[in-house]
Structure 1
Amino acid sequence: MADVIRAFDIGEVWMPVASEGTEVYQEFLDALEAKKCAVKKAVAGDKIVSGDAGYEIDVLGPDSSVQSEDMNDYSVVLRVTYGTTSMLFTGDAPASEIAADNPGRVGVLKAAHHGSKTGITTELARALRPAVVVLSYGEGNDYGHPDQATLDVFASVGAQIYGTAVNGNVTVTSDGKSVTAQTSKDGTVAAGVSAEERRRQEADEIPV
């Protein structure tokens, strides 16, 4: 996030009422201060952009009453609506929280938690019915993102699946009636391998 803030001209930053005492989080706060970005609390029910602008951005989560030891439960969930199209941005929110936000049908889904199986269920995927799903994750990450179960769920609802590790920048465009996706490179999204599984595989390959 610090790199993003430094790279772009940003007027406002919307973030949840939560904090984390890590070096990465502090770097994020330092970048905000250096750029003198206005910071606003994101709570379910807030409207970042009204329909007067020609499109809308609504905050669907987190709820103001959330209290959790899991920082993912504080993820900001946004719905962007333009014409009859909509896009849902979910952060690292668990599937249960996304479902509770009641986002309705969406054309584009930025998959939760880098494709972790905690971010989607078959029931939620059927409720959202996204035509396009974008997963943001690093190639060879230690967490094994994306999970094969996640990819199977999205495939079961007929979504086009894109991933930043294999497709590079994924640009989704809406004309108010339909959405199209373009990528900076071709590639097919495949399940990752966790660091633990990778160590097990390497151990199995060592001759006795």
Structure 2
Amino acid sequence: MRKAALLSALILSAALAASPAFAALKTGAEAPDFSAPAAIGGKDFVFSLAEALKKGPVVLYFYPKSFTRGCTIEAHEFAENYDNFSAAGASLIGVSADTIETQREFSTKECRDKFPVAADANLSIIGAYDAKRDRPSQSGDSVSDRISYVVTPDGKIGFTHVGSDPIQHVAETLQFVRQWQGSHKH
């Protein structure tokens, strides 16, 4: 019996050590303003958080790497729900440490021309949002964790979701945006 308990403790300890340590900005914190090179439908532009917030809340989601399995699933799910976010008055922007060249292709193929993705190759935005993964990716590159924020028009973090399930990020942020919109109707 004692061996089983010890084995269980070791397995749990190993599982916790293997999972990423997530850090994130807290609800109510000031959202760091930024502008970044981005692409939508394969076309470059400069995304400005301040400009986007003039239109309503912004779902700002960080993901580790374009064209990887989980990140592709997440992009497809956000694209499928683009109209739902738009109906709730929110805009979307994905951010990763990929280059703008990669983001051009990802915005067309995986985001399905619905929403932009920004390039943060120097990790300045990822760092400002406390979204940098503690451990490098398998390729040795520094990447972001999977963290989604909803930034409200007053420039504050209204909602934070941290987790590895890409579909949950879409469901949770959409639920928050709908609730926020319902409580802010004039």
- TM-score of the superposed pair, with normalisation by structure 2: 0.28
Determine which structure has greater relative contact order: mean sequence separation of CA pairs < 8 Å that are 6+ residues apart, divided by chain length: 2
- Would you tell me which structure has more helix in proportion to its own residues? 2
Structure having the higher Rg: 1
Q: TM-score, normalised by structure 1?
A: 0.26
